Chains A and B, each alone.
Chain A
């Protein structure tokens, strides 16, 4: 399988370990990625709060460039995925907007390619792989909850890749890698997103509820595929000093890091040192 690849801004900075691990894991499954030439920010949560046409234009610019690759496009970021799908939806619904937007783009977007998220692609590539990657490092100590966050399952268009309310893509992938994820009710709850900056108390409360539920079910880690969720939960648990009764932080992994570790990539290759949870806490669950 060959796909155009839209990294999104987080994967260049706070989610660097997602970028490197997804390349290795998809490579192992025989998926070839071609980064979109001169892609730009999707507009995230800010552009659409200020102007509909600009938000559509920002996302459509990268879609137009992706279409020149003549393959479907994949992104690992839930928010980018949501915005790309939203732009496609808006242009499909409003021909006048589509024309105005396309006139402003370096390459117009005709809507001929499919916009896919990484989980969807991972599941398909894994099921199609003639030889499944062997479990080289059994992660027996890892008891994670899978955390999807808001936007993977709520994008416009085809939703057939997973159940929006009770997604199971990550649980299925981890099972194949010998990791039994714990079922919980926080899968598609919100991490607070930009509220972590704008209204920190609100975000802290949301995160505390999520982590409390994960712990109550016996989880010792969180596995996610969303850069915003990873950053918020990872950073939200970081303290210079912990209060005495405060529980130790749960490491928050990207799903690609866990798959890679199980398939034999080293912790260095999966860049687990970039997690904010202590190296000891990480080593304990991936031993």
Chain B
């Protein structure tokens, strides 16, 4: 925010912290001046992508892998998401044993259910505008 107010737009759009936000919305809920930093960050991420700044690699992979499942099946798929993430960035060994423990307790569905009317998903993804949108629609 400070960089933006100081006119340092380039620095703000390159900042890794832009992609560290998990969207908890504590800032917007608590801001005494009624500002909405969570939405400002959303807009900045969209702007950064529209202007060709690459997202922080791990966050970028996560969002792209998540949306791939949603676009193809209409549902998110935790197991596949983790696999796609691991292929790109490796997986810490702790997470493998945790994933296995979840699987043993029946908490991983190997074949996620699909939305039947997937044509309508295509139409929704086609709403995307700009390079960020075409990235999302890929």
Residues of A within 8 A of B (CB): 9-10, 12-16, 38-41, 43-54, 57-58, 61, 82, 100-101, 104-106, 150-151, 153-154, 164-165, 188, 190, 192-195, 197-200, 202, 235, 238-240, 273-276
B62-A194 in contact (CB<8A): yes
Answer whether residue B20 sits at the interface, using C-beta atoms and an 8 A cutoff.
yes
B22-A46 in contact (CB<8A): no
Given A13-B109, A194-B22, A101 contacting B102 (CB threshold 8 A): no
- Residues of A near B19 (CB, < 8 A) are 198
A271 to chain B, nearest CB (A): 8
Closest to A58 in B: B124
B115-A40 in contact (CB<8A): yes
A51-B128 in contact (CB<8A): yes
- Residues of B near A52 (CB, < 8 A) are 42, 46
B25-A151 in contact (CB<8A): yes
State in angstroms the CA–CA spacing of A194 and B20 once bound together. Answer: 10
Answer whether residue B6 sits at the interface, using C-beta atoms and an 8 A cutoff.
no
A/B pair count, beta carbons within 8 Å: 171
- Residues of A near B129 (CB, < 8 A) are 51, 53
State in angstroms the CA–CA spacing of A40 and B121 once bound together. Answer: 9
B89 to chain A, nearest CB (A): 9
B136-A50 in contact (CB<8A): yes
Answer whether residue B14 sits at the interface, using C-beta atoms and an 8 A cutoff.
no
Answer whether residue B116 sits at the interface, using C-beta atoms and an 8 A cutoff.
yes
B contact face: mostly helix, strand, loop, or mixed: helix
- Residues of A near B26 (CB, < 8 A) are 150, 154, 188, 190
A253 to chain B, nearest CB (A): 14
State in angstroms the CA–CA spacing of A198 and B60 once bound together. Answer: 9
B105 to chain A, nearest CB (A): 5
A240-B97 in contact (CB<8A): yes
- Residues of A near B127 (CB, < 8 A) are 51, 53-54, 57, 100-101, 104
Interface string of B51-91 (1 = CB under 8 A from A): 00000001100110011011000111111011001000000
B75-A38 in contact (CB<8A): no
A54 to chain B, nearest CB (A): 5
B107-A40 in contact (CB<8A): no
Of A10, A43, A82, A274, the residue contacting B105 (CB under 8 A) is: A274
Of B24, B62, B112, B115, the residue contacting A198 (CB under 8 A) is: B62
Closest to A204 in B: B94
Given A40-B75, A197-B85, A199-B20, A104 contacting B123 (CB threshold 8 A): yes
* Residue from the set B62, B79, B129, B135 with the largest chain A CB neighbour count within 10 Å: B62
A241 to chain B, nearest CB (A): 10
Q: 28 interchain pairs (CB within 8 A)?
A: A38-B116, A40-B70, A41-B69, A41-B75, A43-B70, A50-B45, A50-B63, A50-B67, A50-B135, A52-B42, A54-B133, A54-B136, A57-B125, A58-B70, A104-B120, A104-B126, A105-B124, A150-B23, A164-B29, A192-B22, A193-B23, A235-B98, A235-B101, A239-B94, A240-B97, A274-B105, A275-B105, A276-B105
Give B15-52 interface residues, CB cut-off 8 Å to A: 19-20, 22-26, 28-30, 42, 45-46, 49
B29-A154 in contact (CB<8A): yes
A240 to chain B, nearest CB (A): 5
Answer whether residue B132 sits at the interface, using C-beta atoms and an 8 A cutoff.
yes
B98-A48 in contact (CB<8A): no
A9 to chain B, nearest CB (A): 4
State in angstroms the CA–CA spacing of A154 and B25 once bound together. Answer: 7
Answer whether residue B2 sits at the interface, using C-beta atoms and an 8 A cutoff.
no
